[in-house]
Structure formats: structure tokens, C-alpha cells
């Protein structure tokens, strides 16, 4: 049986086998923070490496590692200071705070309450008699407030400079664009990736590692020329996607559309060819790491939930509730329990434009023409004899702001006066003082502000998805068994090695030697000689180890080469193989280049 129907069963397994657990338990714990144990840390690391191999190495991108604390000015420019809010409602009786939109979703048929305005959320709370989950007190009449999710800190001693823990890894890439473009030799398109922690002071963390206050993101910022750069769509053109467009979500009885990447672009189901390309890359990657394709979909953001700067946005969502068969999930998009595990957004030029307005660097790159062109250029030569007496030490800043505006928006000077912002304050200058002129110049190229296409993956939620999709309960030799059918690509341990018995020194020495040889070949290995062999198999099955090697007396009999038995986790089938060359054979299975069935054909099956 595949899929966990009870989240508590998965949480119990996660704690018992060392995947993840609440942090600081010795001090009562703190909501929204989790420690990944030995198994979870290895699984998470393998997911990150698999992502890096695809989205950095295979796609030919570069990776950076930016700081997790950044100055306030960065988030003022990005808009996070003013707009990075969730809806909070506090209980008058017990004082606990809750996500108002989550309470509405739990108590009604509303699926995307986050996209609704605050007054409508307040009405829904009252109309449905929604009460505080902790004490049961009615929340009708309680105001819903906007709560900024960023963690604030001070940079330096004392009050220091205000700063914030980054709420996403993306800004650490955007603010470094002026330098990163030089590393890319100012050639578009180019991509920059980053894997690292982000922080959001969630009002009500829930669902274990699905919604936390510290989490890991894997993001790619693809910088493209919107006029000239097309994605290599042919590389994923035939990849099939299960799409849930906005129109289908809003239609009674709406359903999924199954399209190839090529069809999705040609039919206009996915507006951005770059977004469609990354949906195809992501689908292949999810298949590789073991996400169940029957429990994966790509859902388009509705207009109310899409960021104002995004022309199109799709989420990869996984079903993690279990207990619903594949046919039901395919037929009914409302069936199951879905979580967002990645987002794919065409962010346009918004981010670089905002940082250009607030920063001291040009967030553009120079594109050379094939042939020089004659163009009309609006310039200003401010009359400093007027600006100096009127604005004093600010006169030079006013002049610079006028010049920048002339480059950005020449039509702003068409009226008798023009207004610019200097140190956050408006300054109005007469057009004749600005000395506006239009001249014809010959240019070899132009400065281009790239657009950004962003695939952003939640690593922790991907880990949760793999555990939920990999969970199995069955019987082996008449006994119940719990196992995790994790892909060998990401499984915490690749191979378990056991001596059949622990009281035979020669057998133990040989098993330890096999373990060393496998480790030397780069395979992660668990060595275990405690308990009977059946229990050792069950322990490895439960943490998702795909292969187990047992060293027994039969493998040392006679004058022939030493042999061992290799057991497959999912089928429990076994094959006897020579110990010599074993590492290469098992590595091929772990890397996905060979199946266990192929190993059985090459060796002697053990019944």
C-alpha cells in the first residue's frame, strides 16, 4: 500500500528513525523550527545535490552563496518591508494568534483564502462562526491585521544598522547583479542559482516541516532578454505535464489538462515559454528523485494570488495526504491534500528595476548592435546657478536625479515642470531650469534591463513529499513491514552491509572489508551486526535503504571467488554476486544506470 493516510504515522516514523523532530525539546521546544536527524539530513543533502546537478550543472548555470542577513535598504527596495504580510487574528480570550486565511480554509470550501481582501476574510470568520482552535472562543468581530513576516535584527553593536533575516534567497542574487553580469561576460541569457536557508516569522506554523519559520530554498534566477532570448524548448518539448490552469480552477467541474510542454506553449495554456520550459525540466527532475507522478500537478496562480509584478506564475504541488487512489486524483482536482513544493514565475524586470531605483549601481548590461545606429537622445544640463542657491548641498543629487529621469522617461519633461525624488522626498524643478535638449547621436549599442524567470523550490517540502510518497505498509514472511520506497538517487544510505552472524570473526572481518570497499567507491554505507538478519533488513527498509548486502558462510565455501547476497528493498528479492567488482555493480543501480532486475540476470538468484 502506498502513501500515508495519517500524517501522524509519518511524523512518528520521522522522529523514531531520525528524519526530523522539533528543535530544542529539552527547553520545551519552539514552534516552527525543526532539526533534521542523521537520516533526514542525509536525505535533504541528497535532494539538494540532485537539484544542483540539474539546475546548476546540467543547465550550465553558476551558483553563489549569499548572506542570510541583509540591510533594511535591500528589503525596502524589494517591497518586503511594506508588502510581505500575512493575515493575523488574535483570540480575545486566550491571546493566541492565528493565520486568519488558514482558519477560513479549514472551516469552509474556500481554497485560496490568502488571495482574498481582509474585509472579506473578517466576514467569512463571522458568517461561519469560526472559533479559536486553542480555546474555542468565537472570533467574530475580531479585527484581522496585516503582520510582516520578516525577522528583524540589528547589524553591529548597540542599536546598530537595522537588518532582516532574508525571507527568500532571491534578493541575495538580485542585489549582486551588477557584479554577476560581469562574471557572465555581460551575455544573456545567464542563470544564477543558490541553495540556502530563508526565514519567515509564520503566525501559526503547522504540518511539521511543511510550514516552518526556517526553511531551505533552492532557487534559480534566469536573466533573459525579453526580445531576443528563447528557451531551449526542444529539450523538454515532449515532457508531459498535468496542468491545472486558472480557468479550470474557476469553472464548475473544472479538470486537469494533460499537455506536453510543446502543446502547452502552442495552445497558450502556459503563457511564458520560459516558464513552460522550466516546468518540463522540473517534471523530469521530480521523476528522477522519486516524486509520484500521479500525485503531482502544476497549478496556475489565480489573478488574486499572483504577485503584482509576475506576468504568469505556476506552482508545482504534491498530494501528501494519501488514502486517495490515482484515478480519483486524476479525475477530481479537489481530492486529496495538496501542498506547494515549487513556484515558477516570470518576474519581468521588476526586481532589477526596484534595486536600480534604490541602489548606486546600474542594473543593466550593454548589448552591442550589429551596426551602429543613429538615435535621438534626450539630455538635461541643469542650471546649477539656480539649483545651488535653492537646494544647497542637495543640488548635485537633484541634478543627477534629473539626468536619470531623462534617460528613463523623456516625456516627463514635456510639461512646464518636472518632479523627481531625492532622498525619498519629492523635488519639483521648472523644465527650463533642467535645460532639456534632444540631440541625434550614433550609438554602438544599448543598455538592457533583463527580465527574470524564477524556478523556486522548497527543499524541506520536497523532503516531506518524498517521505509521504515513499511510505509503504505490507507483509513479508507473514509479518507486517513498514518501508520507504525512496529513489536510490536521494536515499539517506545506499547500502546496508551485514555479516549473517556476529559471532564468526572471519565472517565479520569479511563484512567489514566489503563495507570499506563500498565506502571507498563513494557509496554511503550502514554496517550493522546487531539482532537477527530479518530485523536488520526491517531497520534498513524503514529508512529507505535500497540495497542490503549480506556476507554468509555459503559465499566463502569452495575454492571459487567470494560471493555475497544482495537484497532489493522493494521486492525483497535477492541475488548472489561476486564480492569483487561489487561496488561498481551497486553504484550503477544507485546512479540509475542499471536496475536490480538486471543484477539478478547477471548473478545467481536466491530464492
**What single-letter DSSP state applies at residue 35?**
E
What number is the average pLDDT over the span 380-405?
89
By the 8 A CB rule, do 543 and 478 touch?
no
d(CA 15, CA 10): 9
Please provide the distance, in angstroms rounded to a whole number, between the alpha carbons at the two ends of the chain.
24
Asked if 508 and 602 sit in the same domain, the reply is: yes
Domain end point (choices 382, 413, 446): 446
Count of domains forming the chain: 2
Same domain, 499 and 598: yes
Q: Would residue 209 count as lying in a domain?
A: no
Q: Does a structural domain hold residue 23?
A: no
Contacts of 353 (CB under 8 A, 6+ apart): 363, 449
**Helices 582-590 & 505-520, crossing angle to 10 degrees?**
50
- 518 and 599 housed in the same domain: yes
Distance CA 494, CA 256 (A): 37
* 590 lies in the same domain as 527: yes
Contact assessment for residue 309 and residue 347, using Cβ atoms and an 8 Å cutoff: yes
The last residue of a domain, from among 415, 446, 477: 446
Q: Are 55 and 61 in contact (CB under 8 A)?
A: yes
- Give the H or E element holding residue 539: helix 533-542
User: What is the distance between the alpha carbons of residues 597 and 514, in angstroms, rounded to a whole number?
Assistant: 22
* Closest of 277, 166, 177, 169 to residue 218, by C-alpha: 169
What are the DSSP calls for 341-402, one per residue?
EEEEEEEETHHHHHHHHHSSS---EEEEEEEEEEEEEEEE---HHHHHHHHGGGHHHHHHHH
Give pLDDT, residue 350.
93
Residue 423 lies in a domain: yes
Residue-wise pLDDT tens digits, 245-281: 999 999 998 999 999 999 999 999 999 999 999 999 9
Taking residues 571-589, what's their average pLDDT?
94
499 domain residue, yes or no: yes
Residue 249 domain-assigned (yes or no):
no
- Mean pLDDT for the stretch of residues 375-389: 87
Prior bond of 189 cis (ω within 30°): yes
Q: Are residues 421 and 518 located together in one domain of the fold?
A: no
| Spatial contact of 512 and 311, defined as CB atoms under 8 Å apart | no
Domain boundary among 446, 471, 504: 446
Same domain as 434, residue 376: yes
What is the tens place of the pLDDT at every residue in 80-113?
A: 988 788 899 999 999 889 999 989 988 998 877 8
Which residue(s) pair with 527 in the sheet? 497
Evaluate whether residue 290 is within a structural domain: no
pLDDT in tens, 148-182: 899 999 999 877 799 999 999 999 999 999 999 99
**Is the per-residue pLDDT at 476 higher than 80?**
yes
Q: Which residues pair with 164 in a beta bridge?
A: 70, 152
507: domain range? Answer: 493-606
pLDDT tens for 214-252 read: 999 999 999 999 888 999 999 999 999 999 999 999 999
- Is 587 found in the same domain as 512? yes
Residue 442: CATH number of its domain:
3.30.720
Judge whether 398 lies within some domain.
yes
- Residue 500 in this model has a pLDDT that exceeds 60: yes
User: Quick one: average pLDDT of 341-352?
Assistant: 95
What per-residue string of b and e applies to 209-228 under the rule 16 or more CB within 10 Å gives b?
bbbbbbbbbbbbbbbbbeee
Q: pLDDT above 90 covers what percent of the chain?
A: 69
List, in order, residues 6 or more apart from 407 with CB less than 8 Å away.
378
What is the predicted pLDDT for the residue at 125? 95
Q: CA-CA distance, 371 to 153, in Å (whole number)?
A: 52
DSSP conformation class of 301: P
Q: What's the CATH code of the domain at 576? A: 3.40.50.800
Give per-residue pLDDT as tens, 32-63: 999 999 999 999 999 999 999 999 999 999 99
Please check whether residues 582 and 522 belong to one and the same domain.
yes
* Angstrom distances, CA of residue 463 to CA of 12, 209, 452: 16, 9, 27
Integer Cα distance of 18 and 39 in angstroms:
5
Q: Provide mean pLDDT across the span 370-374.
A: 83
What is the predicted pLDDT for the residue at 607? Answer: 62
Task: Find the mean pLDDT for residues 177-192.
Answer: 95
**Mean pLDDT, all residues of the chain:** 92
* 479 burial via Cβ count (<10 Å: 0-12, 13-18, 19+): exposed
Q: Is 559 buried (19+), middle (13-18) or exposed (0-12) by CB count in 10 A?
A: exposed
pTM: 0.86
In order, the DSSP letters of 52-110 are IIIIIIITT-EE----SEEEHHHHHHHTHHHH-EEEEEE-TTT--EEEHHHHHHHHSS-
Burial of 235-249, coded b for 16+ CB within 10 Å and e otherwise, reads: ebbebebbbbbbebb
Determine the angle formed by the axes of helices 38-51 and 459-470, rounding to 10 degrees.
110
Residues ≥6 apart with Cβ < 8 Å to 253: none
Determine the pLDDT at residue 83: 78
- 3-state SS assignment for residue 483: strand
In a domain, 80, yes or no: no
Amino acid at each position: 500500500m502506498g502513501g500515508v493516510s495519517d500524517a501522524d504515522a509519518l511524523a512518528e516514523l520521522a522522529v523514531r528513525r531520525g528524519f526530523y523532530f522539533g528543535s530544542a525539546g529539552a527547553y520545551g521546544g519552539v514552534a516552527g523550527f525543526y532539526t533534521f536527524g542523521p537520516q533526514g539530513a542525509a536525505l535533504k543533502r541528497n535532494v539538494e545535490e540532485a537539484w544542483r546537478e540539474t539546475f546548476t550543472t546540467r543547465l550550465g548555470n553558476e551558483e553563489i552563496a549569499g548572506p542570510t542577513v541583509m540591510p533594511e535598504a535591500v528589503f525596502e527596495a524589494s517591497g518586503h518591508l511594506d508588502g510581505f504580510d500575512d493575515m493575523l487574528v488574535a483570540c480575545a480570550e486566550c491571546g493566541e494568534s492565528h493565520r486568519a486565511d488558514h482558519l477560513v480554509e479549514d472551516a469552509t470550501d474556500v481554497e485560496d483564502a490568502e488571495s482574498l481582501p481582509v474585509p472579506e476574510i473578517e466576514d467569512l470568520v463571522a458568517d461561519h462562526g469560526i472559533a479559536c482552535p486553542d480555546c474555542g472562543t468565537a472570533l467574530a468581530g475580531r479585527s484581522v491585521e496585516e503582520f510582516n513576516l520578516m525577522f528583524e535584527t540589528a547589524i553591529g553593536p548597540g542599536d546598530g544598522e537595522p537588518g532582516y533575516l532574508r525571507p527568500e534567497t532571491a534578493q541575495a542574487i538580485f542585489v549582486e547583479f551588477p557584479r554577476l553580469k560581469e562574471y557572465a561576460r555581460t551575455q544573456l541569457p545567464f542563470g544564477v542559482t543558490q541553495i540556502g536557508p530563508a526565514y519567515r516569522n509564520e503566525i501559526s506554523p503547522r504540518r511539521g516541516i511543511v510550514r516552518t519559520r526556517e526553511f531551505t530554498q533552492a532557487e534559480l534566477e534566469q536573466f533573459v532578454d525579453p526580445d531576443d532570448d528563447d528557451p531551449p524548448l526542444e529539450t523538454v518539448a515532449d515532457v508531459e505535464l498535468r496542468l491545472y490552469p486558472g480557468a479550470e480552477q474557476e469553472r464548475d467541474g473544472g479538470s486537469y489538462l494533460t499537455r506536453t510542454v510543446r502543446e502547452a506553449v502552442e495552445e497558450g495554456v502556459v503563457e511564458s515559454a520560459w516558464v513552460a520550459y522550466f516546468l518540463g525540466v522540473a517534471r523530469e527532475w521530480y521523476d528522477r528523485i522519486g516524486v509520484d507522478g500521479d500525485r503531482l500537478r502544476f497549478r496556475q496562480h489565480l489573478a488574486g494570488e499572483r504577485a503584482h509584478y509576475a506576468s504568469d506564475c505556476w506552482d508545482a504541488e504534491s498530494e501528501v495526504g494519501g488514502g486517495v487512489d490515482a484515478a480519483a486524483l486524476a479525475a477530481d482536482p479537489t481530492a486529496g491534500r495538496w501542498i506547494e513544493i515549487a513556484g515558477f514565475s516570470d518576474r519581468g524586470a521588476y526586481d532589477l528595476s526596484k534595486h536600480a531605483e534604490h541602489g548606486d549601481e546600474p542594473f543593466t548590461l550593454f548589448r552591442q548592435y550589429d551596426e551602429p545606429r543613429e538615435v535621438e537622445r534626450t539630455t538635461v544640463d541643469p542650471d546649477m546657478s539656480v539649483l545651488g542657491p535653492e537646494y544647497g548641498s542637495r543640488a548635485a543629487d537633484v541634478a543627477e536625479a534629473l539626468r536619470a529621469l531623462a534617460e528613463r522617461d523623456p516625456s516627463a519633461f514635456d510639461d512646464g515642470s518636472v518632479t523627481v525624488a531625492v532622498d525619498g522626498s519629492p523635488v519639483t524643478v521648472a523644465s527650463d531650469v533642467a535645460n532639456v535638449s534632444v540631440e541625434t547621436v550614433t550609438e554602438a549599442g544599448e543598455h538592457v534591463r533583463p527580465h527574470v524567470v524564477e524556478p523556486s523550490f522548497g527543499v524541506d517540502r520536497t523532503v516531506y513529499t518524498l517521505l509521504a510518497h515513499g511510505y509503504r505498509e505490507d507483509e513479508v514472511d507473514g509479518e507486517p513491514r513498514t518501508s520507504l520506497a525512496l529513489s536510490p538517487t536521494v536515499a539517506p544510505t545506499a547500502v546496508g552491509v551485514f555479516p549473517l552472524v556476529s559471532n564468526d570473526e572471519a565472517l565479520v572481518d569479511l563484512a567489514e572489508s566489503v563495507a570499506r570497499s563500498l565506502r571507498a567507491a563513494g557509496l554511503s554505507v550502514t554496517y550493522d551486526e546487531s539482532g537477527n538478519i530479518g530485523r536488520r533488513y526491517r531497520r534498513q527498509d524503514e529508512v529507505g535503504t535500497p540495497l542490503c548486502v549480506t556476507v554468509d558462510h555459503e559465499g566463502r565455501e569452495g575454492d571459487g571467488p567470494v560471493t555475497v547476497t544482495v537484497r532489493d528493498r522493494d521486492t525483497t528479492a535477492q541475488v548472489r554476486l561476486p564480492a569483487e567488482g561489487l561496488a561498481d555493480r551497486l553504484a550503477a543501480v544507485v546512479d540509475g544506470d542499471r536496475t536490480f532486475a538486471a543484477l539478478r540476470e547477471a548473478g545467481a538468484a536466491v530464492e
